[in-house]
Amino acid sequence: MRNTNTVLVVDDDEGIIDLLTMALEDQGYQVHSAVGSGALKAARDHVPGVILLDILMPEMDGVEVSRRLRADPATAHIPIIAMSAQDRLDTTGATLQANDRVAKPFRLDRLFEKVAHWASA
Amino acid sequence: MSRRWPAIRKRYVTALREYVATPDETNLSRAYELGRELVGEAASILDVSTVYHQELARLLRAASTPQNARRALARARSFFGESLSPIAMAQGGFQDTVDRLRDLRQMLEFQQAISGATRMADAIASIVAHAALPLGAGSCVLLRPTADGSWEREGPPGDEQRQRPLSNVERRLVKLALQKPRPVVLDMAGDNAGVDDGSGDPRSLLAVALRSGEATLGVLLFEARTAFGPAEVTLAQLVAETATQAIRRAELLEQYAETRGSELALRETNHRMEEFLSVAGHELRTPLTSVLGNVQLIARWIAELNQGVQGLPDPPDQPLSLRLAQLGKALQRADRQGHILVQLVNDFLDVSRIQAGQLALRLAPCDLAALVRGCVEEHQPILARRGMQLDLPEEPVHVIADEGRVGQVLTNYLANALKFAPPTQPIVVGLRVEGDDARVWVSDEGPGIALAEQAHIWQRFYRVPGVQYVDGSSVGLGLGLHLCQSIIERHGGRVGVDSSPGAGATFWFLLPVAGQQRSGSEEPWAASRAVEKETPVL
């Protein structure tokens, strides 16, 4: 069972993690954060309602993280919203296993809509 | 054995008998001529030999006395002893054949030796190392023309005369070889041609030019201590032709390797450019995400605070409410400017990508009417404040397009209309199918564009001077319309503007309708597919 009130933010940029933590907590969510492969353990531990996953990260990128999350029965069912500041989000989308996408910079209200939709989906 | 064989054999035997009867010069030369003819028509030397043995047996049988038989044998022997007798000639033919086979084998060896060379230096080294063998020459050097009109001497390994300038004799011979289509020979052996005098000095020189079309690739210079005969001249011609092919081949292979190298280097550069643009995009947008996100978050909090203050029955601090409203407006401005910065970053990266030939389109079948409708709806909050008319067909209009990129073009047209047209005048967005094309347009009632300016507005970094902005920002790099043109043209379409000063402007673009066959296209989508190629567009 997912914790629909919980969001896992996976990004290597502290500024983005802080922003999303504040903004989503403000919306009433419990927010956890992780970088790269740390997302795999965090997702198992917290089983969030939705995972916000950055694509371009050092060590392990979002494409690989999404693949492993999907391969693990404990996390395979958690919806993933991919975030990218790159143009090539659509190209990586071919191998990226995400339910939705959001391009950086995003509008907060649009992001809240997506998070609400997938957390309760 | 030819059909002429029996007749010649008969005449030859007659001539032979006449010679045996009367051994004079006339009969000898007649028998000799017919003997030559007989050898020429024989299938094998055995046939010729059989004729002799049969004739000898007949002479011996016919001899009525031992003296007669002895005389016949002596005459026959004297005839057979002639070096020009058919058997000797046949033996000579054998030798000839053996020689020719040897020549052929050596030519083959030469060809094999030089055929493996893929680099010019290897080809030349191979030629000078092996070319002398088929000719039985002592040595061979290759003279290559240099830029200053002199000759560069390429000799076999250990050629100590490499740096030696050409002697006068060699120079004259080379000059002659360049004028003549066939090899030229300088025989310094005189009457003793063919005899090695043991002195070690070259007795004969042969020069042959290596020609490829109009160009002279070089001259092969052979030296030998025996004279070069007609067979060697023919072989020299063959060697020259083979060497020419080897040099040309090495030249072409080197050119190919160079071209391939440049192509690989270009691909590497493009790949690095793509990587750079991708990283640059990421690095520029990440801090903007943070800035804009925080601005929006603060704006939300301030709005909440302001509402809370407004909700108080008796606002304790009027200046606080006023200050919160000011903060809200300031943050709105920051947000708006931040988004302009995002747009500039996007435009800048797109233009860089177009210039690097890296703007890849993700083409897919789509409904252009739905695309236009969706795009307009996205701008509805802004457009709602302005008069807005939609002129779209009911039915779908199928095109093969990159939806995101075409949406970007329409958004750009809309942004321009909002920027320049008076708020009181409506903006019209339309779509119509015209023959094989779908036309999308955005009309405004703005100040319009002078004809002289219309040709320039699609250029990179061009901004129409002295234009008044009624909405949005005046900030811009002059890239928007240039991007629109590049994107639409990569779809196989066209862009344009109809305008005159004071009468507004209609910006339009045409896209090929899917299923409409273009001239020269075998499949309906060929026109669109053609633009998928990663070719530089500028």
- C-alpha to C-alpha distance for B68 and B58, rounded to whole angstroms: 12
Mutation target to probe the B interface, by most B beta carbons within 10 A, among A9, A21, A31, A87 is A87
> Span B395-401, mean pLDDT?
92
Q: Give the range among A82-86, B205-209, B327-331 with minimum mean pLDDT.
A: A82-86
Domain limits of chain B?
Answer: 5-95, 116-257, 273-355, 364-532
Contacting residues of A for B349, CB less than 8 Å apart: 87
Those residues with Cβ within 8 angstroms of residue A73's Cβ, 6 or more apart along the chain or in another chain: none
Those residues with Cβ within 8 angstroms of residue B436's Cβ, 6 or more apart along the chain or in another chain: B512, B513, B516, B517, B518
Mutation target to probe the A interface, by most A beta carbons within 10 A, among B274, B275, B284, B289 is B289
Q: pLDDT class for B233, splitting at 50, 70, 90?
A: confident
Judged by CB atoms closer than 8 Å, whether chains meet at A104 and B286 is answered as yes
* Phi, psi dihedrals of residue A61, rounded to the nearest 5°: -85, 170
The CA R_g of chain B, rounded to the nearest whole Å, is 47
- C-alpha to C-alpha distance for A98 and A93, rounded to whole angstroms: 8
| Percent residues over pLDDT 90 in chain B | 14
CATH superfamily of A3-107: Response regulator (3.40.50.2300)
- C-alpha to C-alpha distance for B105 and B129, rounded to whole angstroms: 16
Q: pLDDT class for B531, splitting at 50, 70, 90?
A: very low
Contact in structure between B299 and B335 (CB atoms under 8 Å): yes
Q: Which residues of A touch B (CB under 8 A)?
A: 13, 15-16, 19-20, 22-23, 26, 56, 84-88, 90-91, 104-109
Interface confidence, given as ipTM, is: 0.86
Kindly report, residue by residue over B379-388, the tens digit of the pLDDT.
776 667 777 7
User: What's the mean per-residue pLDDT of chain B?
Assistant: 77
pLDDT at B535: 30
Kindly report, residue by residue over B96-152, the tens digit of the pLDDT.
555 666 666 777 778 777 877 788 888 888 888 888 888 888 888 899 888 887 888
Transcribe B298-367 into DSSP letters: HHHHHHHHHHHHHHSSS-S-HHHHHHHHHHHHHHHHHHHHHHHHHHHHHHHHHHHHHHTT------EEEE
- C-alpha to C-alpha distance for B54 and B498, rounded to whole angstroms: 109
State the Cα angle at B436 between B434 and B440, rounded to 5°.
Answer: 50
B337 touches chain A (CB under 8 A): no
Contact in structure between B346 and B284 (CB atoms under 8 Å): no
* pLDDT at residue B441 is higher than 90: yes
When CB atoms are compared, the residue of B284, B293, B362 closest to A90 is B362
| Percent residues over pLDDT 70 in chain B | 76
pLDDT at B511: 95
State the architecture of B116-257 in CATH terms: 2-Layer Sandwich (3.30)
- C-alpha to C-alpha distance for B389 and A40, rounded to whole angstroms: 51
When CB atoms are compared, the residue of B288, B297, B404 closest to A105 is B288
Contacting residues of A for B297, CB less than 8 Å apart: 19, 22-23, 26, 108
Those residues with Cβ within 8 angstroms of residue B311's Cβ, 6 or more apart along the chain or in another chain: none
Query: For residue A83, what are the CA distances in angstroms to A24, A62, A106, A111, B460?
Result: 15, 9, 9, 10, 31
* Structure letter (DSSP) for residue B467: P
The CA R_g of chain A, rounded to the nearest whole Å, is 13
Contacting residues of B for A90, CB less than 8 Å apart: 362, 404
Transcribe B14-47 into DSSP letters: HHHHHHHHS--HHHHHHHHHHHHHHHHH-SSHHH
Kindly report, residue by residue over A102-112, the tens digit of the pLDDT.
888 888 999 99
pLDDT at A79: 95
Those residues with Cβ within 8 angstroms of residue A12's Cβ, 6 or more apart along the chain or in another chain: A35, A36, A54, A57, A58
* Domain B364-532 in the same topology as domain B116-257: no
Kindly report, residue by residue over B140-189, the tens digit of the pLDDT.
889 988 888 788 888 777 666 656 777 888 888 888 999 888 899 888 75
* pLDDT at residue A20 is higher than 90: yes
State the architecture of B364-532 in CATH terms: 2-Layer Sandwich (3.30)
Say how many residues make up chain B.
538
Q: Terminus-to-terminus CA distance in chain B, angstroms?
A: 75
B479: Cα within 13 Å, side-chain hemisphere: 17
